[in-house]
Amino acid sequence: MDLDLTEEQKLIQDTAREFALAELAPAAADLDRGENKELFLENLKKLAELGFMGLNVKDQYGGSEAGAVAFSIAMTEIARGCASTAVTVSVNNMVNEVIQALGSEQQKEKYIPKICSGEYLAGAFALTESGAGSDPAGMTTTAVRDGDDWVINGSKIFITSGSFAGVFVVWAVTDPAAPKGKGISLFLVEPETEGFVVGKKEEKMGQHGSPTNEIIFQDCRVPKDALMGQLNDGFRVAVTELAGGRIGIGSLALGLGLAAMDMATQYTLERKQFDRRISEFQAIQWKIADCYTELEAARLLLYNAAFKKDRGRRFAKEASMAKMFASEAANRACYEALQMYGGYGYTRDYPIERFARDVRITSIYEGTSEIQRMIIAREILSSFS
């Protein structure tokens, strides 16, 4: 197996790294404080112009056709600069991929180019509900056919980019009599639609620059051609097509972990205690060795999942393994980095405390670590039977 990046992948990595260093990292602290929101949106537009919003999307729809490995690489580099920007890029890519996989030709031509170009600064997934998070089959939002329209009622929570997305992929129950997990369908809904309401913005622990909103549907009437894919086939999409999102979030976590450890390692070469650089103490050296080893293992797991996706092979188990391991390794790395900084790591004078807050959600959203373990175990057990 050749683990070297292609010339195209190296170019994408270098471009993402340079942009993150020059544009994203300098603005990250302001975004964390709720400032400079206009710059956040400007950077999304610039990333779209650089081709980062459709990395695994066909050229005919405005995508880069670079593949899932390139997507993972780009997400890692962007997250080094700003996790709030990275999660928006990840979701945009997955919205485009789902529309590309399931949408009609008219839907693809209408929505994908707008996200890829930055005309729509974001797309959004409206899946999670207060009673249907890890168990999306338990959703209660409904869509009822009324003549040539569908009428949607219900609410969704924790919607990334909910306040400014140009289109939403919405899951709703279309056959309440069907067995659980069966009668669910997907719809493409524009926020200007009557009855579509953007609710409260969540006050989060981290990733403050990325707005997360409640979305409410109050007799929200959409045309029949807003249905995407097959009627009553939406749950299958939720548990299969979105597995690629786990590669994105795992890669985001990896970027945060690497950024934290790089800063902390440099700090240990400068900080002195007991008349010695703290990098000379074995306790510090072991933290460095353990964290970088785990992060490198996470990188390889992510590449493996992305490689299988690029080859059109099954990758659900590998994506869950990569997402679970990368997010948990990154959490450990950020907290060890904070420990290496000592008291300074707990202050806002250094980015480490922000990394520690930003990374925490990565083991929760896009499927918790507990859900990933369930998926992994199920896939392994099924292979034995």
Residue 201 phi, psi (nearest 5): -90, 130
Among 372, 335, 377, which residue's Cα sits nearest to residue 352?
A: 335
- Residues with Cβ < 8 Å from 275, sequence gap 6 or more? none
Catalytic: 42? no
- Residues with Cβ < 8 Å from 71, sequence gap 6 or more? 55, 56, 93, 244, 247, 248, 251, 306
Among 167, 143, 158, 166, which residue's Cα sits nearest to residue 215?
A: 158
Q: Among the options 18, 23, 366, 370, which is catalytic?
A: 366
CB of 36 within 8 A of CB of 93?
no
Residue with tokens 């999307």: 57
By CB atoms closer than 10 A (0-12, 13-18, 19+), residue 260 is: buried
* H-type alpha helices, the chain: 7-19, 25-32, 37-49, 68-81, 83-102, 105-117, 234-240, 243-268, 282-310, 316-341, 352-360, 369-384
What tokens were used for 178? 């069907």
Other C-beta atoms closer than 10 Å to the C-beta of 142 total 17
Q: Give catalytic residues, as residue numbers.
A: 366
